[in-house]
Amino acid sequence: MRNFSHVDAASAKEASSNASKSSALFIAGGTDLLGTLKDEILPSYPEKVINLKTIGGMDGIRDEGGAVLIGALAKISALAESDLAIAHATALAQACEKVASPTIRNMATIGGNICQMHRCWYFRVPDNRFACRRKGGNYCPARIGDNRYHSIYGEQDGCYAASSHDTAPALIALGATISTTKRKLAAEDFFVINGIRSNALEADEVVTEISVPKAAKSAFQKFALRKSIDFPLVNCAAARLGDDSVCIALGGVYPSPVRIQAAEAAVAGGITEASAQSAADAAVAECRPLPKSGYKVEIARALVKRTLMELK
């Protein structure tokens, strides 16, 4: 890695104001950030890395009436084992259990997981060799290159990457709200393409807390090539919300995780084997896979059905 200066932050506000003064990146668990800095995949290298781990009181998981409040610094492993999350945000706890490896789960934080950058191999190629759409270029190398792990729902702002967070579809399905130092965002609005970022955050904005409304029942399914340490090819989360409606979200199929309203409509009258199947078919009806990513359509179809059957 090239040189940078390292600053410990005492509070999220301080970290944010410190970041607005010079080019800076935030480090929490570091499992994503250090890889990007070692490979120098970004168009610019930060002068400063601001350590968020020194901020006190931001790693709790607590019960707040109708919602589970999760501090951004809560470890993925803590969430996977939290009784509160397992009981009321089952999909999120299950998703956390499937993130990477046990060792990485001990280090990585939920805030970092939702802020990780895309795993597209053209975006991630060392030394920033492709000026792709995410880096201010005018084309997507995956469009004509090897796109076996890319989008099946077409492009977003010219980019065909696939979202790689395991927790994102769970947060969307559960209707979570993400608080930052500047605002509150619904999970659905949080995950959008934004330059090199996979979320709507500004350069000096820090995620502080995630509020997940309690759901009676929710489930998560992941399909990856390897059982341990692998990013999802496709993952799916579904939740039965308070008003008995069902919310379904897919990850790994589009640059941002997507909520599938067509599938939700298909199971509005109750979940049966047949309605789950028609929801799965509806979910992939609009797919426009790339030449090599067509197989992911069938994976998405199967995962939507499996996840819904768990909610039965």
Residues of the shown chain interacting with other proteins in the complex, contacts defined by CB under 8 A: 1-6, 27, 29-31, 34-35, 37-38, 49, 51, 53, 100-104, 106-107, 227-229
Least separation, in Å, of the C-beta of 247 and other proteins?
30
Beta carbon nearer to other proteins, 81 or 202:
81
Beta carbon nearer to other proteins, 46 or 289:
46
Beta carbon nearer to other proteins, 47 or 64:
47
Complete DSSP assignment for the chain: ----EEEE-SSHHHHHHHHTTSSEEEESS-TTHHHHHHHT-SSS--SEEEE-TT-TT-S-EEEETTEEEEETT-BHHHHHH-HHHHHH-HHHHHHHHHSS-HHHHHH-BHHHHHHPPP--TTTSSGGG---BGGGT-SB-HHHHS--TTS-SS--BTTB------SHHHHHHHTT-EEEESS-EEEHHHHS--BTTBSSS--TT--EEEEEEE--SEEEEEEE-SSSSS---SEEEEEEE-TTS-EEEEEESSSSS-EE-HHHHHHTTT---HHHHHHHHHHHHTT----TT-THHHHHHHHHHHHHHHHH-
Least separation, in Å, of the C-beta of 200 and other proteins?
26
Beta carbon nearer to other proteins, 75 or 150:
75
Beta carbon nearer to other proteins, 28 or 279:
28
Least separation, in Å, of the C-beta of 166 and other proteins?
15
Least separation, in Å, of the C-beta of 3 and other proteins?
5
Least separation, in Å, of the C-beta of 39 and other proteins?
8
